[in-house]
């Protein structure tokens, strides 16, 4: 994995030297509320509140206007299909300006548990429908690693480190393809096993295949509650 | 911007509602394991581990269970994983050594397999530990010379079991002959923060 991150770092700096490379800085708080149901079913509600504080081009003046970008509300139903596997499907509504974007979501997750850490693989697809736009299809893969900062398991009142790396392939029309890469180093705190708070960086880079790189730096705050 | 102000206000209300609600709802089993500095470990526990194994890389843990507390030493010695559990005063509880099914006698393993086949449609063994219980002197003699005097040997097996209706992870404890002593279902930690 080390060479990959070095490569990513090189890419980020090489893109910075070119014109038309933009950046966004903002916050991305989310709430995740889950309810376990019978027969290994679970229902999850997720809401995200995206706010932008700075935007601009590398090497040029920055604009600092605050902008409330959008609110997401998603409902996902999941079913545990094995000890480590879960399939899920759901629907998302994105409230952006006066528009409401709709998205359908399908995902398959594998979680491997090791002595001192967990490794999760998430394969997902989603289809986004916005007003007056053709449907956008995304194929996503995310790997997540979480490890306790004390002891061998993440227990109540303890901290943990969670690092995610995601690749999103976006297809829109026939000739419109984009790859987005996300790296999310987060630190989490366990109030109880069903109540966790995480915060850290949500770094996203995309459009580099089209030579107009966009980099986004979000301060992520994620609250996971299970009832 | 009118819409934005509305959203921010709702956000605050939602956060407060969920937080207050959750303090009432959340109830989980109390179990905690944390690293323990070697200076905090009772001398008799340290001495025993150093007498037993020449390994210098011992990690110490403090465990709090519903039934009490314990101190655990974990180390790898001669390619085997050791877990040595003590009471808080440093007196020994047991020694567990990770092992392979080939190290269990054929007769005992056949008995274990019989039990598992009656319990499950299918099962997969994930981990086997031999558990040794006895006095410090008896265990030291056993590990140095291989003579098992006054030692109780059990097999602790972590396995994935499949029945008609369910799949789960279990911890089964067998005695030296392969007779079932106890079973536990292993409850997984919440995975929402990896899944969603």
DSSP character for A135? Answer: -
Q: What is the mean pLDDT of residues B53-75?
A: 84
Structure confidence by residue, pLDDT tens digits, B98-137: 999 898 999 999 999 999 999 999 999 999 999 999 999 9
Q: Using 50, 70 and 90 to split pLDDT, how confident is the model at B68?
A: confident
Domain boundaries, chain A: 2-226
Asked whether the beta carbons of residue B193 and residue A162 sit closer than 8 angstroms, the reply is: yes
- A2-226: which CATH number, 3.10.350, 2.40.160, 1.10.3470, 3.30.70? 2.40.160
Q: What is the ipTM of this complex?
A: 0.83
Rounded to an integer, what distance in angstroms lies between the CA atom of residue B47 and that of residue B84? 12
Nearest to A93 by CA among A45, A24, A35: A45
Say if B20 is an interface residue toward chain A (CB within 8 Å).
no
User: What pLDDT was estimated at residue B144?
Assistant: 84
Structure confidence by residue, pLDDT tens digits, B2-14: 444 444 445 444 4
User: What pLDDT was estimated at residue B18?
Assistant: 39
Rounded to an integer, what distance in angstroms lies between the CA atom of residue A47 and that of residue A93? 10
Pick B7's closest partner by Cβ from A49, A153, A188. Answer: A49
Say if B189 is an interface residue toward chain A (CB within 8 Å).
yes
* Mean of the per-residue pLDDT values of chain B: 82
Question: How many Cα neighbours within 13 Å face the side chain of A210?
Answer: 16
Asked whether the beta carbons of residue B191 and residue A118 sit closer than 8 angstroms, the reply is: yes
Pick A188's closest partner by Cβ from B25, B34, B193. Answer: B193
User: Chain A residues with CB inside 8 Å of B191's CB?
Assistant: 86, 109, 111, 118, 120
Strand residues in A18-157 grouped as ranges (E): 22-36, 41-57, 62-63, 67-80, 85-96, 99-113, 118-129, 136-148
DSSP character for B189? Answer: P
Asked whether the beta carbons of residue B160 and residue A226 sit closer than 8 angstroms, the reply is: no
Asked whether the beta carbons of residue A120 and residue B188 sit closer than 8 angstroms, the reply is: no
Pick A144's closest partner by Cβ from B4, B168, B194. Answer: B194
Total number of residues shown for chain B: 196
User: What pLDDT was estimated at residue B22?
Assistant: 36
Say if B34 is an interface residue toward chain A (CB within 8 Å).
yes
User: Would you write out chain A's pLDDT as a tens digit for each of its 227 residues?
Assistant: 455 555 455 445 544 444 478 889 999 999 999 999 988 899 999 999 999 998 888 777 667 778 898 999 999 999 998 888 999 999 999 998 888 999 999 999 999 988 789 999 999 999 999 988 899 999 999 999 999 998 777 888 889 999 999 999 999 887 788 999 999 999 999 999 899 999 999 999 998 876 788 999 999 999 999 99
> What are A92's two structure tokens?
């998302």
Say if B14 is an interface residue toward chain A (CB within 8 Å).
yes
User: What pLDDT was estimated at residue A18?
Assistant: 47
> What are B83's two structure tokens?
């877990």
Q: Which domains does chain B have, with CATH numbers?
A: 100-196 (3.10.450)
Among A54-58, A143-147, B47-51, B64-68, which is the least confidently predicted range?
A: B64-68
């Amino acid at each position: 994995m080390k060479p990959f991150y070095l490569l990513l770092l090189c890419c980020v700096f090489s893109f910075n030297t070119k014109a038309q490379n933009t950046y966004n800085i903002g916050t991305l708080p989310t709430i995740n509320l889950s309810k376990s149901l019978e027969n290994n079913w679970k229902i999850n509600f997720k809401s995200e509140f995206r706010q932008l504080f700075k935007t601009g081009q590398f090497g040029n003046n920055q604009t600092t206007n605050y902008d409330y970008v959008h609110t997401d509300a998603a409902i996902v139903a999941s079913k545990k299909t094995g000890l480590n596997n879960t399939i899920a499907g759901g629907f998302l509504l994105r409230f952006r300006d006066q528009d409401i974007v709709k998205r359908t979501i399908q995902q398959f997750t594998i979680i491997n548990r090791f002595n001192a850490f967990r490794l999760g693989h998430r394969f997902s697809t989603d289809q986004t429908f916005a007003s007056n736009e053709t449907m956008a299809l995304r194929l996503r893969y995310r790997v997540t690693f979480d490890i306790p900062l004390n002891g061998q398991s993440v227990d109540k009142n303890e901290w943990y480190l969670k690092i995610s790396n995601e690749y999103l392939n976006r297809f829109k029309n026939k000739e419109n393809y984009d790859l987005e890469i996300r790296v999310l180093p987060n630190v989490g705190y366990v109030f109880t096993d069903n109540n966790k708070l995480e915060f850290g960086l949500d770094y996203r880079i995309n459009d580099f295949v089209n030579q107009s790189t966009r980099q986004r730096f979000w301060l992520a705050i994620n609250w996971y509650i299970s009832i | 911007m009118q819409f934005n102000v509305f959203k921010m206000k709702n956000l605050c209300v939602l956060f407060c509602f969920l937080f207050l609600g959750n303090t009432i709802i959340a109830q989980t089993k109390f179990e905690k394991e944390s690293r323990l500095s070697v200076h905090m470990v009772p001398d008799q526990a340290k001495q025993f581990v150093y007498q037993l194994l020449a390994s210098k890389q011992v990690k110490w843990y403090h465990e709090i269970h519903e039934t009490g507390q314990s101190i655990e030493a974990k180390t790898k010695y001669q390619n085997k994983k050791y877990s040595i559990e003590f009471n808080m005063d440093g007196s020994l509880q047991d020694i567990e050594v990770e092992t392979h099914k080939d190290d269990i006698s054929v007769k005992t393993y056949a008995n274990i397999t019989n039990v598992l086949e009656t319990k499950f449609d299918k099962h997969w063994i994930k981990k086997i530990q031999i558990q040794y219980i006895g006095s410090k002197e008896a265990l030291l003699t056993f590990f140095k010379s291989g003579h098992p005097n006054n030692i109780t040997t059990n097999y602790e097996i972590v396995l994935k079991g499949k029945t008609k209706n369910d799949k789960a992870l279990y911890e089964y404890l067998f005695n030296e002959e392969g007779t079932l002593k106890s079973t536990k279902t292993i409850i997984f930690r919440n995975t929402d923060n990896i899944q969603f």
